[in-house]
Structure 1
Amino acid sequence: MIMKNFLRITGGAMLSCGVALSAMAQESEPVYGGTLDVGFISDVRTLNPLQSTQWTERQILFLMFDRLVDLNPDFSLRPGLAKSWEFEDDGKRVVLHLEEGVSFHDGTPFNAEAVKWNLDTRLDPDAGSSQRKQLEAVIESVEVVDEHTVAINMIEPYPPLLALFTDRAGLMASPAAAETYGEDVGMHPVGTGPFKFEEWTRGSELSVVRNEEFWQEGMPYLDRVEFNNIASNVIGIQRMTIGEIDYIGHLTPLDTKLADASPDIKLVQSDGGQWYSLQMNYGQEPYNNHELRKAIAYGIDRDRINEILWEGQGTVSNGFTPEGLWWTPSGLPDYSYDPDRARQILKDAGLEGTTLSLASPSGDALRRFSELVKESLDQIGLNVQLAPVPQSEYYAKTVSGEINFTPMRWTQRADPDGLIQYLFSSEGTANSTGYSNEQVDAWIDEARTTSDQAVREDLYQKVQVQIVEDLPYIPVGFATEFSALRTEVHGYTPMPDLIPRFRYFWLSEE
């Protein structure tokens, strides 16, 4: 599990483990060939991993780009483009030993110079990387040791660095492609992954094709993967029943009813669901009023949302970490549904009748979520106006401050720092609420630099209690989600981050 790997890493041991990439979720011998048609509600804005911010972009990026470090289905780390590593200098330096003989899709070599370029570019303020704030607080310099060895010198020990490299910060892009295409490189992605970019028609479809020179022997199995934009999951399932689409993910229990009726479709439940919440602009009136936030927390009928949106199969939660992780907190403030208390809070604070504009993204789940929230909050004396916004734009508008009150959902990361610092630190890359608490910042900074898990666990307990008291997000719960696959689709393993690894899929009529 996480800590086992964590101790091996921080203890300075060499790690070059053992889960064969091609062995994930194989029901029988894979079959080569064919096209996998994926249906999804697209909000893809760029295919440049250095700039990417949209969550859905990763299921495409993970086909074309490899990461320095990869993840097992239990969130433990395993080699990626870095085949092994060791920590030095009391944890302030990590040396990565890279796979040899790997080339980018444009034929240029993947080596230590390429890793240095990828990390240095992410750190360059002029490059505008979405991961810069994550990395600049951690990395002091990147050093080429030899052609296939790179050393990362850290400002101070940062044990979660390898976990950070399992996500977008670890996706390696071609430096030559960036030089060739410049600002348009997001339309011309070049990685080392099992599939190469073919074409992209915005708002319609995107396709990738098999990389015949892929460095992992025997992979991939598919010839092509095509992403088809669908207006809704219901329409997607209808297209699936007639064979136009092979896979749709992130289905709610309501969405599965049509799929469940088809003998040609199989449903797979995710091990964990996305965390659903309401996000507010912490410094913007009226959301900077703690009494308003508290009234909203007590005024949302989360059990009703669970029953309607997830058919009672979700998990209502006062926090943002699911059960079963080593950083799962206890003793959080309780915001069980209490409309009378919510009304009294509003009355005492002179906030009765306050008008709030709640974003209503066009995607099925978030739109339904917004509608249910409005129903709850109208009943406690607030005047909630739904503000429709395209799914592809709502997160960017939230980050830019155009949206002050919105539904939000996140998945867990391989290390708690990957979400807690990301969202709740004053310096967090995705701190789009503007939340700032000096004590929380101090706890987060201490937790991310120590290798003692008991200390980290205690610090994250304090952090989570304080955040739930401050309420920059109003926690609602964890969704129950499903993936729908046609029966000829194989090789799917649910992952904790809920991103399907299409590179392992294969098709068979048997």
Structure 2
Amino acid sequence: MTPPRLPSLPVPTRAAPAAAALIGLLAGAAPAGAESVLRIAMTAADVPTATGMPNNGFEGMRFLGYPVFEGLVLWDLSRTDRLATLRPGLAERYEQSPEDKRTWIFHLRRGVTFHDGTPFDADAVIWNLDRYFKPDSPHYEPPAAGISRARVPLLDSYRKLDADTVAITTTTPASYFPYMVVYLLFTSPASFERAGRDWAKVAALPAAGTGPFRIVKVTPREAVELQRHDGYWDAENRAKLDRVRLMPIPEANARIAALRAGQVDWIEAPAPDGIPSLKQAGFTITTGSYPHVWPWFFNIGAANSPLKDVRVRQALNYCIDREALVGFLNGTAEPSVGWLKASDPNFGAPAHRYRLDPEKGKALLAEAGYAAGKPLSLKVMISTSGSGQMQPLPMNEFLQENLKQTCNVDVTFQVVEWQVLLNAARATPDAPALQGATALNISSPSSDAGIMARYFSSASFSPKGFNFEQWKDEAFDAALATLAEATDPAAIAAATRTAHERLVDNPPWLYIVHDLNARAMSPKLRGFVSPQSWFVDLTRVSLP
């Protein structure tokens, strides 16, 4: 098919002025001086919230989550030759209770303090868990609670065993539970008290975490300033940089312009057509295969949704030209034919192997009642930019034209900001927030069984979890239950393969591409490791 021109889609009016104002701010900024300051241009339209559970998806966690606010369990981001695994964090060790597989015991690291000097201990853990999971708590934070409940839908109860030990119990046994705990971050209770017990004021203090960087200044819509925390508990992994400045620049070309002008040192998701010239100018381009997928989420649960019919969902997966889209993106992605990559040993052997096959797609649509005289129509909610969204406007326009050409599918778009889209994904299928959307374009990690459970388990229907589609497959649920109970690696792998086969043959998503995590950087930057993870380790990075 012929690649479309760059999009003429309508966009929210706030994003462009905000970016223009930011570029002006950067242009007038004073030189960094003797301090080493890393300036990062994010894809977000605003700075992530700074209370300790950032919004703006995993980009918020990447830059204003783990560098500042840590979890009991952390990602091991030290290697590039394998998928990122877990390592002990604020808990020096953890295990399933031998008496009850639903209960996990976390032994806290002693001697850790928050940036404000107050102790991190079992009381601080319980206080934060109440903040996320106890609605009648005086310090309950609804926005952070919504994020945490969706990421950790299995949490049932928790209790303090002693000053250095906490038990967390899940609703059902889950061997992968540590892969959910990694997303629970901890803020100093003293931050809430100093802000007059008002979460809206906590971010302006700024809030205190335990990480290698601390927040020193938050300017909404403009920047967040981080400073190295020299008292970081992990002395071997203290940051090399003096400061990090995080800036929201949602337009890809504006990010490139800021990098070329020397106003930033690192940009997320450069526009693909700008990458060759950036390379020629001496900038460093990093890409790498990692567990991440760029799909459309099908709204199966909405009343009268055409996507209730599995034949329609399968048909759409045969109607798109993934290879052409990869070419359009200048090779910064690879085709997706399932939640996992086809090369993954846990991909399995599904009956359907999706590829561009318009005749098969049209035949399936005709069986479902959508022939030439009655074309299928979809309304897709998409974002202007955002965490892992790559280039959502031109990519979605490509798909719009592609589906019309191959299978006579009519697609319209509702264009919103990234956080609005994320909020919609936690709504029920016919909620007003969805504005009648039959699909959502939200990029997703595909790193572990914990993510698989929260996205696809029938126990995780939105708004409780992240199964926005309200997708239920009994064979998938059975395989997930086997996986959750198993301890033998071979049994876990077999169950994962079975579960993934159901994700392909009974697809809850339109599988489009896996992105390659492209970013562009100043050649002066040293020490960056691009792990097989959505997250990065800023402590390794240095600048002269």
TM bracket, shorter-chain basis: 0.7 to 0.9
Answering whether residue 83 of structure 2 is matched by residue 62 of structure 1, we say no
Q: Distance in 1 between matches of 2:522 and 2:152?
A: 40
- Give the RMSD, CA atoms, in angstroms: 2.6
Matched with 1:177 is 191
CA contact (8 A) 1:291 1:346 kept: yes
Instruction: Name the aligned partner's letter for residue 98 of structure 1.
Output: L
Q: Distance in 1 between matches of 2:220 and 2:39?
A: 16
Matched with 1:383 is 410
Q: How many residues align?
A: 470
Matched with 1:359 is 381
Task: Mark the CA change 1:95 to 1:294 in structure 2 (over 3 Å): closer, same or farther.
Answer: closer
Answering whether residue 114 of structure 2 is matched by residue 104 of structure 1, we say yes
**Residue deviations 1:301-354 (CA, integer Å, cap 9, x gap):** 11211221243x633232111256553333351222111232333334332323
Task: Mark the CA change 1:468 to 1:135 in structure 2 (over 3 Å): closer, same or farther.
Answer: same
Instruction: Name the aligned partner's letter for residue 150 of structure 1.
Output: V
Answering whether residue 424 of structure 2 is matched by residue 406 of structure 1, we say no
Q: Distance in 1 between matches of 2:349 and 2:35?
A: 49
CA contact (8 A) 2:300 2:470 kept: yes
Matched with 1:77 is 86
1:46-445 matched pairs, under 5 angstroms: 46-50=49-53, 52=55, 54-59=57-62, 60-72=64-76, 73=79, 74=82, 75-89=84-98, 91-126=101-136, 127=140, 128=142, 129=145, 130-132=147-149, 135=152, 137-145=154-162, 147-154=163-170, 157-166=173-182, 168-169=183-184, 171-179=185-193, 180=195, 181-184=197-200, 185=202, 188-217=206-235, 219-251=238-270, 253-263=272-282, 265-272=283-290, 274-284=292-302, 285-311=305-331, 314-322=333-341, 325=344, 327-331=346-350, 333-351=352-370, 352-363=374-385, 365-379=391-405, 380-400=407-427, 401=431, 402=434, 403-413=437-447, 415-416=448-449, 418-428=450-460, 429-445=465-481
> Shift in Å at residue 373 of structure 1?
1.0
Does the residue aligned with 1:492 lie in a helix, a strand or coil?
A: coil
1:448-467 matched pairs, under 5 angstroms: 448-467=484-503
Unaligned runs of at least 5 residues, structure 2: 1-33
Q: Distance in 1 between matches of 2:510 and 2:480?
A: 20
Q: Distance in 2 between matches of 1:133 and 1:266?
A: 36
> Shift in Å at residue 68 of structure 1?
1.6
Unaligned runs of at least 5 residues, structure 1: 1-31
> Scaled by the length of structure 2, what TM-score is found?
0.79
Q: Distance in 1 between matches of 2:292 and 2:172?
A: 32
Task: Mark the CA change 1:248 to 1:371 in structure 2 (over 3 Å): closer, same or farther.
Answer: same
> Shift in Å at residue 251 of structure 1?
3.9
Task: Mark the CA change 1:354 to 1:154 in structure 2 (over 3 Å): closer, same or farther.
Answer: closer
Instruction: Name the aligned partner's letter for residue 328 of structure 1.
Output: F
Instruction: Name the aligned partner's letter for residue 503 of structure 1.
Output: T
Instruction: Name the aligned partner's letter for residue 228 of structure 2.
Output: R
> Scaled by the length of structure 1, what TM-score is found?
0.84
CA contact (8 A) 2:175 2:486 kept: yes
Instruction: Name the aligned partner's letter for residue 387 of structure 1.
Output: Q
> Shift in Å at residue 261 of structure 1?
1.7
Task: Mark the CA change 1:332 to 1:272 in structure 2 (over 3 Å): closer, same or farther.
Answer: farther
**Residue deviations 1:341-377 (CA, integer Å, cap 9, x gap):** 3233333433232332223321261112211110111
Which of 512, 530, 534 is the equivalent residue of 1:494?
A: 530
Does the residue aligned with 2:485 lie in a helix, a strand or coil?
A: coil
Matched with 2:18 is none
> Shift in Å at residue 49 of structure 1?
4.1
CA contact (8 A) 2:339 2:503 kept: no
**Residue deviations 1:104-154 (CA, integer Å, cap 9, x gap):** 122211112212222343332454412235546345432232x33334455
Which of 482, 485, 496 is the equivalent residue of 2:518?
A: 482
Matched with 1:29 is none
Does the residue aligned with 1:459 lie in a helix, a strand or coil?
A: helix
Task: Mark the CA change 1:348 to 1:322 in structure 2 (over 3 Å): closer, same or farther.
Answer: closer
CA contact (8 A) 1:210 1:223 kept: yes
Q: Percent identity?
A: 22
> Shift in Å at residue 420 of structure 1?
0.9
Q: Distance in 2 between matches of 1:39 and 1:51?
A: 17
Q: Distance in 2 between matches of 1:324 and 1:112?
A: 42
Q: Distance in 1 between matches of 2:363 and 2:347?
A: 32
CA contact (8 A) 2:54 2:65 kept: no
**Residue deviations 1:13-45 (CA, integer Å, cap 9, x gap):** xxxxxxxxxxxxxxxxxxx94111001111555
Instruction: Name the aligned partner's letter for residue 216 of structure 2.
Output: E
Task: Mark the CA change 1:199 to 1:371 in structure 2 (over 3 Å): closer, same or farther.
Answer: same
Matched with 1:6 is none
CA contact (8 A) 2:455 2:466 kept: yes
